[in-house]
């Protein structure tokens, strides 16, 4: 008699009728925190995978796309080289790590859930490491509250959040963007991840329209991230001035280069329609 092995799969549900499934070797962790459920899987094709409330946050294999695109695009579009950055969310350390890589030496990272940081320390040490760097100040706090009370200013504000439900809901609101405007320098740019235009059009619309009420210049750009819903992901950025960029300074990443920077702002018609 043969023994039938039961295969393990982690599935992120996009709707009642659709899901993306990863065959996994093992579930390394499942924990419910004060804010959310965190799972870590060892997958066959994407290395370790971090999920929050059942949605993929990052995988070892494709995290570079998200982390380069949320940092390098605003960095090279700023009129002067940014020297300081505030990261809201990003408790895995991937965004802070990419900011260090491009030369920012003054980073404040505000993450609401200490357990995300602990999980990253244990399962994603290469990303977590940045949070122990002397140039990174890690605060465990709600980003909305931090913005309201800080008297600091930053050249870049990067909202590296979960989707606009639960603790991250306030990070997609007009009032939050207005508060961010107060902490930006004259050179400042704010960027947020704004979801999958195809499966989460509301996230993009909330981010875009919220920023548009506060900033004169708002634009959306996209990137190919295989493990996020539809693989087609958006980011939305805003500033008080028209960004022309310092294209002559560009150094490439693994995804990012000068052509990507130019092309990322070219939007399909259905995306333009969403933010019209
Ligand atoms: N790359 C990811 C994505 O788009 O799927 C985001 C990764 S990062 C893990 C998102 C982080 O935002 C989570 O660790 C979550 O705890 C944090 N977060 C959510 N709401 C927050 C808030 N109000 N203040 C600070 N951090 C928050």
Distance 160 CA to ligand 1 centre (A): 6
CB of 167 closer than 6 A to ligand 1? yes
Is 163 catalytic? The answer is no
Architecture field, domain 3-57: Roll (2.30)
Model confidence over 75-114: pLDDT tens digits?
Answer: 999 999 999 999 999 999 999 999 999 999 999 999 999 9
Summarised one tens digit per residue, pLDDT across range 123-177 is 999 999 999 999 999 999 999 999 999 999 999 999 999 988 888 888 999 999 9
Question: Domain ranges in the chain?
Answer: 3-57, 63-275
Exactly one of 106, 160, 186, 259 is catalytic; which is it? 160
pLDDT at 256 over 80: yes
Give the residue, out of 55, 89, 207, 228, with the most ligand 1 atoms within 8 A of its beta carbon, to mutate for a pocket test. Answer: 89
Task: Examine the pLDDT at 1 and tell me if it is beyond 90.
Answer: no
The model's pLDDT over 174-212, given as tens digits with 9 standing for 90+, comes to 999 999 999 999 999 999 999 999 999 999 999 999 999
pTM above 0.85, yes or no: yes
Contacts of 238 (CB under 8 A, 6+ apart): 177, 189, 190, 191, 211, 212, 214, 215, 217, 218, 219
Give the pLDDT confidence of 14-46 residue by residue, as tens digits: 989 999 999 999 999 999 999 999 999 999 999
- The tens digit of pLDDT for each residue in 206-233 reads 999 999 999 999 999 999 999 999 999 9
Tally DSSP H helices, then E strands, for the chain.
9, 12
Same fold, 3-57 and 63-275: no
Which CATH architecture fits 63-275? Answer: 3-Layer(aba) Sandwich (3.40)
The yes-or-no verdict on residue 247 having pLDDT over 70 is: yes
pLDDT band at 6 (very low <50, low <70, confident <90, very high): low
* 234/168: higher pLDDT: 234
pLDDT band for position 3 (50/70/90)?
low
Quick one: which atom of ligand 1 is closest to the CA of 228? Answer: 5
**How far is the C-alpha of 36 from the C-alpha of 161, rounded, in Å?**
13
């Amino acid at each position: 008699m043969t023994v039938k092995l039961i295969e393990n799969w982690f599935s992120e549900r996009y709707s009642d009728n659709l899901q993306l499934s990863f065959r996994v070797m093992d579930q390394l962790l499942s924990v419910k925190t004060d804010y959310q459920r965190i799972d870590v899987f060892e997958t066959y094709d994407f290395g370790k995978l971090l999920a929050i409330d059942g949605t993929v946050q990052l995988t070892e294999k494709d995290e570079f796309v998200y982390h380069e695109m949320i940092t390098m695009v605003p960095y090279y579009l700023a009129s002067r080289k940014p020297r300081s950055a505030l990261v809201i969310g990003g408790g895995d350390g991937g965004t802070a790590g990419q900011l260090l890589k491009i030369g920012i030496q003054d980073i404040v990272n505000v993450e609401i859930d200490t357990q995300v940081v602990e999980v990253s320390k244990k399962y994603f040490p290469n990303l977590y490491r940045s949070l122990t760097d002397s140039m990174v100040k890690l605060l465990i706090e709600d980003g909305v509250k931090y913005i309201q009370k800080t008297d600091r200013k930053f050249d870049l504000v990067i909202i590296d959040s979960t989707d606009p439900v639960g603790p991250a809901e306030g990070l997609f609101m007009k009032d939050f963007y207005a508060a961010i405007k107060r902490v930006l320098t004259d050179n400042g740019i704010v960027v947020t991840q704004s979801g999958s235009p195809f499966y989460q059009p509301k996230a993009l619309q909330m981010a875009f329209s919220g920023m548009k009420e506060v900033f004169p210049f708002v634009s959306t750009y996209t990137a190919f991230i295989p493990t996020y819903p539809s693989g087609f992901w958006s980011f939305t950025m805003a500033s008080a001035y028209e960004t022309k960029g310092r294209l002559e300074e560009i150094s490439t990443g693994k995804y990012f280069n000068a052509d990507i920077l130019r092309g990322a702002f070219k939007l399909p018609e259905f995306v333009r329609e969403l933010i019209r």
